[in-house]
Amino acid sequence: MQGFFITLEGTEGAGKTTVVPYIKDFIESKGMICECVREPGGTAIAEQIRAILKTPCSEKMDNVTELLLMYAARCQLVNSYIKPKLAQGVCIVCDRHDLSTIAYQGGGRGLSMALIESIRNIALGDFKPDLTLLMDIEPAAGMQRARSRGETDRFELEELSFFTRVRESYLEAAKTRSEVEVIDSSKDREQVRAAVTDIMEKFFNDKTIAMA
């Protein structure tokens, strides 16, 4: 049986990392193996690219350079780790994936979707998640959470207007993508966990019916 590929998306401080163990626990309760990764990163090579992308630098990174590095890390993770694991029946939960690029490099940086799609097709082809949970929060509240964690990375140093564009891009994409479920992550932890559980139950029920 092929494993499921489930991704988490959202602006900074939306609570993605908090939700990862909920999903892992749920999947394992169904008797399946689950492994968790993050983007950019997840392999030795991809983690090196992550360091370049996330570390503040006196030299401004060109937007297209950022886009290409994102897809380089993603291509490495998908082809060397995610696809082989899925083929073995392992479920993969990934903190960020391709929708992040649409929101951050597309909505946030203003790069054209035509450019993004052309590079995506080279890096990923038709590979996509089975389910995406979009953790939605007002950018100001999310950034307050993110910055309270300590030292900020290169993305977290952006202005609030950047994250407003990112959020708008996420929500717009969610309207046309059937695999995306939006969760209000401004609610308390137990309410968020209950929402995640409801979505996961429906997802697994639908998959079970489809395979019957």
Query: Distance between CA atoms of 117 and 115, rounded to whole angstroms?
Result: 6
Q: Is residue 10 part of an annotated ligand binding site?
A: yes
Beta strands (DSSP E) in 15-90 are: 34-38
43 is in an annotated binding site: no
Residue 11, annotated ligand binder?
yes
14 marked as binding residue? yes
103 is in an annotated binding site: no
Is residue 176 part of an annotated ligand binding site? no
The answer to whether 181 and 131 are in contact (CB under 8 A) is yes
Is 164 annotated among the ligand-binding residues?
Answer: no
* Nearest to 64, CA basis, from 121, 118, 111: 111
Tell me if 65 is assigned to a ligand binding site: no
The structure tokens 């997840």 sit at 42
Q: Are 73 and 129 in contact (CB under 8 A)?
A: no
List, as residue ranges, the binding site for ATP. Answer: 10-17
List, as residue ranges, the binding site. Answer: 10-17
